[in-house]
Amino acid sequence: MAMINYSTILSPLLAAIMIYSVSANFHQDVEITWGDGRGQITNNGDLLTLSLDKSSGSGFQSKNEYLFGKIDMQIKLVAGNSAGTVTAYYLKSSGSTWDEIDFEFLGNLSGDPYTLHTNVFTQGKGDREQQFKLWFDPTIDFHTYSILWNPQRIIFSVDGTPIREFKNMESQGTLFPKNQPMRMYSSLWNAEDWATRGGLVKTDWSKAPFTASYRGFSEEACVVSNGKSSCSNGSGQGSSSGSWLSQELDSTGQERMRWVQSNYMIYNYCTDAKRFPQGLPRECLSA
Protein backbone atom coordinates (compact mmCIF):
# COMPACT_ATOMS: atom_id res chain seq x y z
CA MET A 1 0.00 0.00 0.00
CA ALA A 2 1.35 3.43 -0.96
CA MET A 3 2.41 5.67 1.89
CA ILE A 4 0.75 9.08 2.12
CA ASN A 5 3.12 12.01 2.43
CA TYR A 6 1.14 14.24 4.76
CA SER A 7 3.75 17.01 4.62
CA THR A 8 2.96 17.61 0.96
CA ILE A 9 -0.72 17.90 1.84
CA LEU A 10 -0.27 20.11 4.88
CA SER A 11 2.19 22.57 3.36
CA PRO A 12 -0.34 24.23 1.03
CA LEU A 13 -2.86 24.27 3.85
CA LEU A 14 -0.44 25.99 6.19
CA ALA A 15 0.39 28.53 3.48
CA ALA A 16 -3.30 29.21 3.03
CA ILE A 17 -3.72 29.74 6.76
CA MET A 18 -0.98 32.36 6.70
CA ILE A 19 -2.91 34.50 4.22
CA TYR A 20 -6.35 33.87 5.69
CA SER A 21 -7.16 35.70 8.87
CA VAL A 22 -10.72 36.31 10.04
CA SER A 23 -11.24 38.54 13.04
CA ALA A 24 -14.20 39.71 15.06
CA ASN A 25 -12.90 41.18 18.31
CA PHE A 26 -12.25 44.91 18.18
CA HIS A 27 -10.09 44.81 21.32
CA GLN A 28 -7.67 42.52 19.49
CA ASP A 29 -7.89 43.94 15.99
CA VAL A 30 -8.08 47.75 16.18
CA GLU A 31 -7.10 50.69 18.32
CA ILE A 32 -9.08 53.88 18.85
CA THR A 33 -6.65 56.62 17.89
CA TRP A 34 -8.46 59.90 18.56
CA GLY A 35 -11.62 61.42 19.97
CA ASP A 36 -11.04 61.75 23.75
CA GLY A 37 -13.39 58.91 24.66
CA ARG A 38 -15.87 59.45 21.80
CA GLY A 39 -14.85 56.09 20.40
CA GLN A 40 -15.95 53.11 22.51
CA ILE A 41 -15.53 49.32 22.28
CA THR A 42 -18.27 47.41 24.11
CA ASN A 43 -20.04 44.03 24.20
CA ASN A 44 -16.80 42.15 24.93
CA GLY A 45 -15.21 43.55 21.80
CA ASP A 46 -18.12 42.80 19.45
CA LEU A 47 -19.30 46.41 19.02
CA LEU A 48 -17.49 49.66 18.35
CA THR A 49 -19.12 53.09 18.24
CA LEU A 50 -17.76 56.43 17.06
CA SER A 51 -19.42 59.70 18.02
CA LEU A 52 -19.18 63.30 16.89
CA ASP A 53 -20.09 66.46 18.75
CA LYS A 54 -19.24 70.09 18.14
CA SER A 55 -15.88 69.70 19.85
CA SER A 56 -14.55 66.67 18.00
CA GLY A 57 -15.19 63.48 16.13
CA SER A 58 -13.38 60.16 16.64
CA GLY A 59 -11.60 57.41 14.78
CA PHE A 60 -9.80 54.07 14.89
CA GLN A 61 -7.35 52.03 12.85
CA SER A 62 -6.41 48.40 12.38
CA LYS A 63 -3.47 47.02 14.31
CA ASN A 64 -2.42 45.07 11.22
CA GLU A 65 -0.96 46.49 8.04
CA TYR A 66 -1.84 44.81 4.72
CA LEU A 67 -0.40 44.42 1.26
CA PHE A 68 -3.52 43.10 -0.50
CA GLY A 69 -6.56 41.79 1.29
CA LYS A 70 -10.31 41.45 1.55
CA ILE A 71 -11.56 43.68 4.34
CA ASP A 72 -15.20 43.57 5.51
CA MET A 73 -16.96 45.80 8.00
CA GLN A 74 -20.58 45.99 9.11
CA ILE A 75 -21.61 49.59 9.72
CA LYS A 76 -24.82 51.28 10.88
CA LEU A 77 -24.61 54.94 9.92
CA VAL A 78 -25.72 58.05 11.80
CA ALA A 79 -29.52 58.14 11.83
CA GLY A 80 -31.81 61.14 11.42
CA ASN A 81 -30.41 64.49 10.36
CA SER A 82 -26.79 63.62 9.56
CA ALA A 83 -26.13 66.60 7.29
CA GLY A 84 -22.53 67.78 7.46
CA THR A 85 -21.18 64.52 8.89
CA VAL A 86 -18.87 62.11 7.11
CA THR A 87 -18.33 58.50 8.15
CA ALA A 88 -15.13 57.34 6.46
CA TYR A 89 -13.97 53.71 6.09
CA TYR A 90 -10.83 53.18 4.05
CA LEU A 91 -7.40 51.65 3.52
CA LYS A 92 -4.41 54.01 3.49
CA SER A 93 -0.63 53.85 3.47
CA SER A 94 1.64 56.34 5.20
CA GLY A 95 3.79 59.07 3.70
CA SER A 96 3.36 61.98 1.31
CA THR A 97 2.90 59.75 -1.76
CA TRP A 98 0.31 57.51 -0.17
CA ASP A 99 -2.07 54.92 -1.59
CA GLU A 100 -5.71 54.91 -0.45
CA ILE A 101 -8.98 53.07 -1.15
CA ASP A 102 -12.03 54.97 0.13
CA PHE A 103 -15.58 54.47 1.24
CA GLU A 104 -16.99 57.80 2.51
CA PHE A 105 -20.61 58.18 3.60
CA LEU A 106 -21.81 61.77 3.28
CA GLY A 107 -24.67 62.54 5.63
CA ASN A 108 -27.87 64.30 4.67
CA LEU A 109 -31.08 65.81 5.99
CA SER A 110 -33.65 63.48 7.54
CA GLY A 111 -35.45 61.55 4.83
CA ASP A 112 -32.81 62.24 2.17
CA PRO A 113 -30.41 59.43 1.25
CA TYR A 114 -26.75 59.30 2.11
CA THR A 115 -24.21 59.75 -0.68
CA LEU A 116 -21.70 56.90 -0.85
CA HIS A 117 -18.44 58.37 -2.16
CA THR A 118 -15.65 56.09 -3.42
CA ASN A 119 -12.14 56.97 -4.55
CA VAL A 120 -8.76 55.37 -5.29
CA PHE A 121 -5.45 57.14 -4.67
CA THR A 122 -2.08 55.95 -5.96
CA GLN A 123 1.15 57.66 -4.94
CA GLY A 124 -0.85 60.63 -3.65
CA LYS A 125 -2.95 61.03 -6.81
CA GLY A 126 -6.72 60.59 -6.57
CA ASP A 127 -9.44 62.28 -8.66
CA ARG A 128 -11.11 58.93 -9.34
CA GLU A 129 -14.44 59.51 -7.65
CA GLN A 130 -17.60 57.53 -8.17
CA GLN A 131 -20.68 58.28 -6.06
CA PHE A 132 -23.84 56.31 -5.39
CA LYS A 133 -27.14 56.45 -3.57
CA LEU A 134 -27.84 53.21 -1.71
CA TRP A 135 -30.88 51.04 -2.40
CA PHE A 136 -31.70 50.78 1.33
CA ASP A 137 -31.63 52.97 4.44
CA PRO A 138 -28.12 52.43 5.91
CA THR A 139 -29.13 53.88 9.28
CA ILE A 140 -31.77 51.31 10.29
CA ASP A 141 -29.50 48.27 10.52
CA PHE A 142 -25.97 47.08 9.88
CA HIS A 143 -24.80 46.49 6.31
CA THR A 144 -21.52 45.00 5.11
CA TYR A 145 -19.09 47.17 3.16
CA SER A 146 -16.17 45.32 1.58
CA ILE A 147 -12.90 46.24 -0.09
CA LEU A 148 -11.24 43.52 -2.15
CA TRP A 149 -7.71 44.54 -3.11
CA ASN A 150 -5.51 42.13 -5.02
CA PRO A 151 -2.72 42.59 -7.58
CA GLN A 152 -5.18 42.64 -10.47
CA ARG A 153 -8.06 44.80 -9.23
CA ILE A 154 -9.94 46.62 -6.48
CA ILE A 155 -13.61 45.75 -5.98
CA PHE A 156 -15.95 47.77 -3.76
CA SER A 157 -19.00 45.79 -2.57
CA VAL A 158 -22.09 46.46 -0.45
CA ASP A 159 -23.78 43.44 1.16
CA GLY A 160 -21.92 41.25 -1.32
CA THR A 161 -23.06 43.25 -4.35
CA PRO A 162 -20.16 44.78 -6.29
CA ILE A 163 -20.64 48.47 -7.03
CA ARG A 164 -17.26 49.42 -8.50
CA GLU A 165 -14.19 47.76 -9.99
CA PHE A 166 -10.82 49.49 -10.50
CA LYS A 167 -8.52 47.31 -12.59
CA ASN A 168 -4.75 47.22 -12.67
CA MET A 169 -3.95 48.84 -16.02
CA GLU A 170 -0.33 49.75 -15.38
CA SER A 171 0.54 48.38 -18.81
CA GLN A 172 -1.48 51.29 -20.20
CA GLY A 173 0.12 53.92 -17.99
CA THR A 174 -2.38 53.99 -15.10
CA LEU A 175 -0.96 53.92 -11.58
CA PHE A 176 -2.20 51.07 -9.36
CA PRO A 177 -1.62 50.63 -5.59
CA LYS A 178 0.53 47.53 -5.22
CA ASN A 179 3.72 48.36 -3.31
CA GLN A 180 2.73 50.24 -0.17
CA PRO A 181 1.19 48.42 2.82
CA MET A 182 -2.04 49.97 4.08
CA ARG A 183 -3.97 49.97 7.33
CA MET A 184 -7.73 50.05 7.69
CA TYR A 185 -9.04 53.31 9.15
CA SER A 186 -12.46 54.65 10.05
CA SER A 187 -13.57 57.99 11.41
CA LEU A 188 -16.64 60.12 12.03
CA TRP A 189 -16.04 63.82 11.54
CA ASN A 190 -17.57 67.17 10.67
CA ALA A 191 -17.33 68.27 7.03
CA GLU A 192 -20.14 70.78 6.87
CA ASP A 193 -18.06 73.01 4.60
CA TRP A 194 -18.42 70.56 1.69
CA ALA A 195 -20.17 67.27 2.50
CA THR A 196 -23.87 68.10 2.07
CA ARG A 197 -24.79 69.80 -1.19
CA GLY A 198 -21.37 71.34 -1.47
CA GLY A 199 -21.54 72.80 2.01
CA LEU A 200 -24.89 74.56 1.53
CA VAL A 201 -26.49 72.51 4.31
CA LYS A 202 -24.76 72.87 7.68
CA THR A 203 -24.57 70.50 10.65
CA ASP A 204 -27.42 70.82 13.13
CA TRP A 205 -25.51 70.55 16.39
CA SER A 206 -28.75 70.33 18.40
CA LYS A 207 -28.88 66.72 17.13
CA ALA A 208 -25.41 65.89 18.50
CA PRO A 209 -23.86 63.64 19.50
CA PHE A 210 -23.97 61.77 16.19
CA THR A 211 -23.11 58.08 16.43
CA ALA A 212 -22.06 55.41 13.93
CA SER A 213 -21.82 51.75 14.98
CA TYR A 214 -19.52 48.96 13.79
CA ARG A 215 -19.41 45.19 14.13
CA GLY A 216 -18.27 42.09 12.21
CA PHE A 217 -14.84 43.30 11.14
CA SER A 218 -12.99 40.61 9.19
CA GLU A 219 -9.72 40.49 7.32
CA GLU A 220 -8.48 37.95 4.79
CA ALA A 221 -5.18 39.52 3.98
CA CYS A 222 -1.46 39.46 3.39
CA VAL A 223 -0.39 40.92 6.72
CA VAL A 224 2.86 42.88 6.71
CA SER A 225 5.01 42.72 9.84
CA ASN A 226 8.58 44.02 10.16
CA GLY A 227 8.64 44.60 6.42
CA LYS A 228 7.67 41.02 5.57
CA SER A 229 4.37 39.79 4.12
CA SER A 230 2.59 36.65 5.27
CA CYS A 231 1.98 35.83 1.60
CA SER A 232 4.62 34.05 -0.42
CA ASN A 233 6.74 36.48 -2.44
CA GLY A 234 4.77 39.28 -0.79
CA SER A 235 2.30 39.37 -3.64
CA GLY A 236 0.19 36.27 -3.42
CA GLN A 237 2.12 34.26 -5.97
CA GLY A 238 1.16 30.62 -5.83
CA SER A 239 -2.22 31.29 -4.22
CA SER A 240 -4.95 28.81 -4.97
CA SER A 241 -7.32 29.47 -7.83
CA GLY A 242 -10.49 31.24 -6.79
CA SER A 243 -9.04 32.85 -3.65
CA TRP A 244 -9.41 36.57 -3.02
CA LEU A 245 -5.84 37.05 -4.22
CA SER A 246 -6.88 36.14 -7.74
CA GLN A 247 -10.60 36.86 -7.49
CA GLU A 248 -12.38 38.62 -10.32
CA LEU A 249 -16.01 39.36 -11.11
CA ASP A 250 -17.84 36.53 -12.83
CA SER A 251 -20.71 37.21 -15.24
CA THR A 252 -23.21 37.40 -12.37
CA GLY A 253 -21.03 39.89 -10.50
CA GLN A 254 -20.60 42.00 -13.61
CA GLU A 255 -24.35 42.02 -14.15
CA ARG A 256 -25.05 43.05 -10.54
CA MET A 257 -22.48 45.83 -10.75
CA ARG A 258 -24.06 47.13 -13.97
CA TRP A 259 -27.46 47.13 -12.23
CA VAL A 260 -26.10 49.24 -9.36
CA GLN A 261 -24.30 51.63 -11.66
CA SER A 262 -27.31 52.01 -13.96
CA ASN A 263 -29.76 52.69 -11.14
CA TYR A 264 -27.80 54.20 -8.25
CA MET A 265 -24.62 55.85 -9.53
CA ILE A 266 -24.92 59.63 -9.35
CA TYR A 267 -21.39 60.66 -10.33
CA ASN A 268 -18.63 59.04 -12.38
CA TYR A 269 -15.37 60.87 -13.01
CA CYS A 270 -15.00 58.95 -16.27
CA THR A 271 -18.01 60.76 -17.74
CA ASP A 272 -17.09 64.23 -16.49
CA ALA A 273 -15.39 65.60 -19.60
CA LYS A 274 -15.62 69.19 -18.32
CA ARG A 275 -13.44 68.27 -15.37
CA PHE A 276 -10.69 66.93 -17.64
CA PRO A 277 -10.44 69.44 -20.51
CA GLN A 278 -7.17 67.91 -21.66
CA GLY A 279 -8.74 64.46 -21.94
CA LEU A 280 -10.21 61.79 -19.69
CA PRO A 281 -7.81 59.66 -17.60
CA ARG A 282 -6.37 56.63 -19.42
CA GLU A 283 -8.30 54.13 -17.33
CA CYS A 284 -11.58 55.73 -18.44
CA LEU A 285 -10.69 55.29 -22.09
CA SER A 286 -9.66 51.67 -21.55
CA ALA A 287 -12.58 50.56 -19.39
> How many folded domains does the chain comprise?
1
- 261 domain residue, yes or no: yes
Q: What's the pLDDT at 287?
A: 57
- To the query of whether residue 65 is one of the catalytic residues in this protein, the response is no
Quick check: is 13 in a domain?
no
Full domain range(s) for residue 70: 26-225+242-284
Which residues partner with 74 through β-bridges?
A: 144, 215
**Is 89 a domain residue?**
yes
Give the whole-angstrom CA distance, residue 49 versus residue 47: 7
In angstroms, the Cα distances linking 11 to 14, 15, 16, 69, 245 are 5, 6, 9, 21, 18
Catalytic residue among 100, 165, 219, 220: 100
pLDDT at 240: 40
Band of pLDDT at residue 20, cut at 50, 70 and 90? very low
Residue 90 lies in a domain: yes
Q: Is the pLDDT of residue 15 over 80?
A: no
User: What is the phi/psi pair of residue 171, to 5°?
Assistant: -65, -20
Query: How far apart are alpha carbons 272 and 275 in whole angstroms?
Result: 6
- Report the C-alpha gap between 228 and 226 in whole angstroms: 6
* pLDDT tens track for 40-62: 999 999 999 999 999 999 999 99
Would residue 100 show up in a list of annotated catalytic residues for this protein? Answer: yes
Domain-located, residue 17: no
Give the mean model confidence (pLDDT) for residues 151-164.
98
Mapped onto helix, strand or coil, the DSSP state of residue 107 is coil
The torsion region of residue 68 among left (phi > 0), alpha (psi -120 to 50) and beta comes to: left
pLDDT at 221 over 80: yes
Are 230 and 64 within 8 A, CB to CB?
Answer: no
Give domain status of residue 237, yes or no.
Answer: no
In terms of residues, how long is the chain?
287
What's the mean pLDDT in 110-132?
95
Q: Which of 31, 65, 104, 129 is catalytic?
A: 104
Distance, first Cα to last Cα, the chain: 56
123 found inside a domain: yes
CA distances from residue 246 to 114, 132, 150, 167, 239 in whole angstroms, order as listed: 32, 26, 7, 12, 8
| Predicted pLDDT at 285 | 83
- Give dist(CA 132, CA 113) in Å, integer: 10
Q: Residue 34 maps to which CATH number?
A: 2.60.120.200
The per-residue pLDDT for 23 is 54
Evaluate whether residue 57 is within a structural domain.
yes
